[in-house]
Amino acid sequence: MEIREFQEKIEEIYFERDSARGLAGTHMWFAEEVGELTRALRRDDRDGLEGEFADVFAWLSTLASISKIDLEEAVRKKYEGGCPRCAKTPCACG
């Protein structure tokens, strides 16, 4: 699945409810999911990590959709040429 396809799928499932909640309320849910990911990372919870990464990405996609940002295009623009600061791959900024 491409990033754009994932963002569209998340929109199909959640956009109506999340956009009604608004950007600030949806960001609170995103922050909660980041906290759950943090706990799974600290505990090295291998079983939970996959789901937590997926949840964070889903909430990030929702925030982008509410903000009318195409995540795939944003990522391509920013990182296609390597590091945004030094334009090297791997980054040589040090």
In the prediction, which pLDDT does 94 show?
81
Domain ranges of the chain: 3-79
**Tokens for 16?**
């109506």
CA–CA dist 59, 26 (Å, integer):
8
Residue 19: half-sphere exposure toward Cβ, Cα within 13 Å: 12
Rounded Cα gap, residues 89 and 81, in angstroms: 8
pLDDT in tens, the chain (94 residues): 999 999 999 999 999 999 999 999 999 999 999 999 999 999 999 989 999 999 999 999 999 999 999 999 999 999 999 999 999 999 999 8
What residue type is assigned to position 40 of the chain? A
- Rounded to two decimals, what is the model's pTM? 0.92
Please identify which residue in the block is written with the tokens 């998340």: 10
CA distance 6 to 2: 6
The CATH homologous superfamily for domain 3-79 is MazG-like (1.10.287.1080)
